[in-house]
Structure 1
Amino acid sequence: MESKNFELAKRLRHELHQHPELSNEEVWTKKHLIDFLKSNTELEIVDKGNWFYAAYRAKEGERNVAFRADYDALPMDEVIDLPYGSKFPRKAHKCGHDGHAATLAAFALEIDQKGADRNIFFLFQPAEETADGAIQCADLIKEENIDEIFGYHNMSGQPFQSVAVIDGTAQFASKGMTISMKGTPAHASSPEDGVNPSFAIANIINELPEFTGAMKGQGRVFCTVICVSIGSKAFGISPGEGELLLTLRALHEENLHELQKNLENLVEVQAKRYGLSLNFSYTDEFPETFNHKESSDKVRQIATATGMQLIEMKEALRISEDYGHYTKLTKGAYFYLGNGEDYPHIHTSGFDFRDELIETGVELFKGLAEL
């Protein structure tokens, strides 16, 4: 890519890093990205309220190809010394979305300057971390009749600037499950006078390993205990309310739905046994990230043609990503650019996006835009 464009994108990345915003709060981030594109390109900007995209329209009848980047930050402190460190406590770009957005912006500069034979759409997405960004932005697929979509994530544990890809499921589906149980409180000296949810919740937790193990033949599933909340520090009261928070995770969405249904049945049995009222609620609902072989083959082709190290992933990543909402609606693939085998992992205090990956991502995007 042009060295001037790289320097502009690098500066943009550092500015985004200094001004992190959490999911669904990305007002400054969105405006800054739009202002950057307006100042440096002639691309059409389509503002959709919570999100936006830029468009390069070659001519009617050409293929419509989209490229996506997320731009929300995490509720973490910046603890490493960076000249462009976060200006806000408990907010930091510790997943690299600042780098993803800068890569897409740099790619937009290149397409604007050099042109393309395709209609190219640059999708800037909020709220990936909470799983409610892509489901909003998926409207782009139908509105612009998108034929194919690509995106990437930086990934530690693989060689620097390598390209990893897989056919089929690339990342697990998952969701957060909150089980709320309500009985009646009583004096701690007479617990029999009340209904304490502790025993039901304990039974549920104890059954989880065997419960998920029985489903292994139907696809890999996991159930992680996140939080247990029962009563308070009041030793004279037998509590009457409790909550159990779980993360459900599965290789395929159909198995996730089955896991949820089976868990609900298990919980209902325990609630009935102890005379408890019951409520279920769900959050952070991520689909499986699915790669179409035709699209992931294009990633392989461009990585090989440009001399990048290509890694064939042996299995899907357990972590979740809301990109799967797009590839439910059209062809596409999601791939991974290596931060280095020993580089700090995303969502850890020592992580910072490596600027060199901007160029790597742009070169891949440029090649994909031509196929």
Structure 2
Amino acid sequence: MKKENYLLAENLRHELHQHPELSYHETWTKQHLMDFLKEHTSLELHDGGKYFYAVYRAPSDCAAAGDKKAIAFRADFDALPIEDEIDKPWKSCVPGVGHKCGHDGHAAALCGLGLELMDMKPDRDVYMVFQHAEETGQGAVEAQQFIKDNPDIGEIYAFHNRPGEELGQIRISNTVANCASKGMSVYMKGTPTHASIPENGINPVFALTEIVRAIPEFTDPDAYEGLVLCTIVQLDVGDYAFGIAASEGVLRMTIRAEIEAEMDLLQKKIEDLAKAEAEKYGLQLKFEFEDVFPETRNDPHCVEKVHKAAEKLGYSVVESIASRGSEDFGYYTKLIPGAIYYIGGGVDKPSFHTSGFDFTDSIIENAVEMFKALIEE
């Protein structure tokens, strides 16, 4: 990577870090990225509303132009509601909001590729999608439209930084890279009564606790092919009032599975039990779902290309198992072959989603060189 291009990308990363924006509020971030590419490249820019994508067109006189399928890369750019406590000049200027997952670095690295393409001039078209709202799982649902609008795209790749791992090391799963997950809320409503005559009301606590009791059975690993988890995040029943029996409650869980179909099976088990308990006690029942992420499954051929690209660059490559954390990149790989991989940010770095985390600038170059090598595969 050219030094001047690296410095431009690094400075861009710092600017993004100083001005973090939460999912669906990334107005400044998106415009700043577009302005950067307008100023420093001649790439086509296509505004998708909350997201945008840039396109490099192979010169028409290239021998292979038109013969090769286009390749795409994705970067996310939303931040998290976490205070930034780094002691650096580019510390967040927004109280309570910080780039604590490294999406500032992902976006800056993809812009770095845009800079390099001006001199690289590959013989195939290259698409770069800059995506909002990865943290909610919904950004890719909307941004995947760019693939539907451009059927010439044959494959898509992305990287995620990985603090705590060897600097610059590539980690990739041969199959599922990230588990599917969703937030599931079970609402139950009965009838209120005075605490002295509970028999005159309907209290949902007994039905909700039956669901809680069933979780270990529903997640028995012997019943599934892959990892299946259910994490209870909240059980809220009634009010802080000793004279009133509880009449409304909600159980909130994160359900998660390595194989998306097995998450759906777990969901059905919970729903069926909730319906049976609601009928048994005469309760009103409602389900709500949010933060829905698919499984992110890597294509074997794309995984092979990642290995070859890393080996050509002399980067260490390690096979990894599926991450329990979720990633909306899976919405893209439902449409076309693709792969997501991790780049180590250094063993002594704070974990992402913590106040002390900061993206490791030096791996911008690793990311850009990997992108370039994948284009040539």
Letter in 2 for 1:343: K
Corresponding residue to 1:70 among 73, 76, 84 = 76
Which residue matches 1:36? 36
In the TM superposition, what is the alpha-carbon distance from 1:80 to its structure 2 partner? Answer: 2.5
Matches within 5 A, 1:66-145: 66-145=72-151
- Give the counterpart letter for 2:2 in structure 1: E
SS at match of 1:334: strand
- Aligned: 1:280 with 2:277: no
2:177 maps to 170
Equivalent position of 2:46 in the other structure: 46
1:215, CA displacement in angstroms? 5.8
Q: CA deviation at 1:214?
A: 6.0
Structure 2: distance between partners of 1:214 and 1:306? 40
Distance 2:125 2:226 in 1: 39
Q: Give 1:293's aligned amino acid.
A: P
**Distance in 1 (alpha carbons) for counterparts of 2:86 and 2:70:** 41
TM-superposed CA distance for 1:112, in Å, is 2.1
Q: Deviations over 1:152-183 (max 9, x none)?
A: 00112321110011211111001110100000
Normalising by structure 2, what TM-score? 0.96
CA distance in 2 between counterparts of 1:241 and 1:214 reads: 32
Q: Contact 2:79/2:98 (CA < 8 Å) preserved in 1?
A: yes
SS of residue paired to 2:219: helix
Residue of structure 1 in register with 2:262 after alignment: 255
* Helix, strand or coil at the partner of 1:147: strand
Alpha-carbon distance in 2 for matches of 1:346, 1:85: 15
User: Does structure 1 retain, via aligned residues, the 8 Å contact 2:218–2:266?
Assistant: no
CA distance in 1, matches of 2:192, 2:225: 41
Q: Which runs of 5+ in 2 are unaligned?
A: none
Alignment coverage as a number of residue pairs: 370
Distance 2:242 2:72 in 1: 59
SS of the residue 1:340 aligns to? coil
**Alpha-carbon separation, structure 1, partners of 2:339 and 2:248:** 45
The alignment yields a C-alpha RMSD, in angstroms, of 1.2
Deviation of 1:187 after TM superposition, in Å, equals 1.2
Letter of the structure 1 residue corresponding to residue 47 of structure 2 = D
Q: CA deviation at 1:350?
A: 1.7
Cα gap change, 1:297/1:259 in structure 2, threshold over 3 Å: closer, same or farther?
same
Distance in 2 (alpha carbons) for counterparts of 1:245 and 1:191: 25
Tell me if the contact between 2:221 and 2:228 (Cα under 8 Å) persists in the aligned partners.
no
Q: 1:228 aligns with which of 218, 235, 246?
A: 235
What code does the residue aligned with 1:303 have? A
Of the candidates 187, 198, 218, which is equivalent to residue 194 of structure 2?
187
Which residue of structure 2 lines up, in the alignment, with residue 289 of structure 1? 296
CA pair 175-191 structure 1, distance change in 2 beyond 3 A: same
Kindly indicate whether the alpha-carbon contact (under 8 Å) linking 2:188 and 2:283 is maintained by their aligned counterparts in 1.
Answer: yes
Q: Specify the SS of the correspondent of 2:79.
A: coil
Give the residue type in structure 1 aligned to 2:343. Answer: L
Is the deviation greater in 156-165 or in 243-252?
156-165
The TM-score with structure 1 as length reference comes to: 0.97
Displacement after TM superposition at 1:311 (Å): 0.7
Contact 1:64 1:144 in 2 (8 A): no
Give the secondary structure class of the aligned counterpart of 1:244.
strand
Contact 1:231 1:239 in 2 (8 A): yes
Which structure 1 segments of 5+ residues have no match? none
Alignment correspondent of 1:362? 368
Deviation per CA, 1:57-76: give whole Å up to 9, x if none: 11462321000000000011
